[in-house]
Amino acid sequence: MRVTLVQNDIVWEHPEANLLYYDSLLAGLTGKTDLVLLPELCTTGFSMKTAELAESDTDRTITTLSHMAVNYNMAIAGSFIGLASNGKDSYNRGFFLHPDGRRDFSNKRHLFRMGEETAHFLPGNDRTIISYRGWNIRLLICYDLR
């Protein structure tokens, strides 16, 4: 499997600018990669403004990136500020967007207390394993590795 790791200067708290950047980057990778790994909180940076920046799984970030995955025929993984089902709380929500349009999600389980993540995000409790092109991939976000 051909994997592309993206380490970019995220435009702070500006999802639209970051999505435009990813679109131009991924367009140039068509046919050259199978899976693109974007940074944690790839459209906002590590912001704690969860009330203003949280999005549902069907809002702009996931819809736009899923469209890119389908159009460029590659899987895209990363995380964003995901709105909890109660419409109030937030998760650091990991996503895995398949080139056939399927979407998988997993909320970060081990929040980074020293970065005040515990004051702004709920911890997840699922362990998501994704099958993609013959590989089983566990969706983890940063501090979940411990």
80-128 pLDDT tens trace: 999 999 999 999 999 999 999 999 999 999 898 888 899 999 999 989 9
**Model pTM?**
0.96
Per-domain residue ranges of the chain: 3-145
In CATH, the architecture of 3-145 is 4-Layer Sandwich (3.60)
35-86 pLDDT tens trace: 999 999 999 999 999 999 999 999 999 999 999 999 999 999 999 999 999 9
Contacts 24+ apart (CB under 8 A), 21-26: 22/65, 22/68, 23/64, 23/68, 26/68, 26/72, 26/74, 26/76
Q: Which residues are catalytic?
A: 40, 108, 142
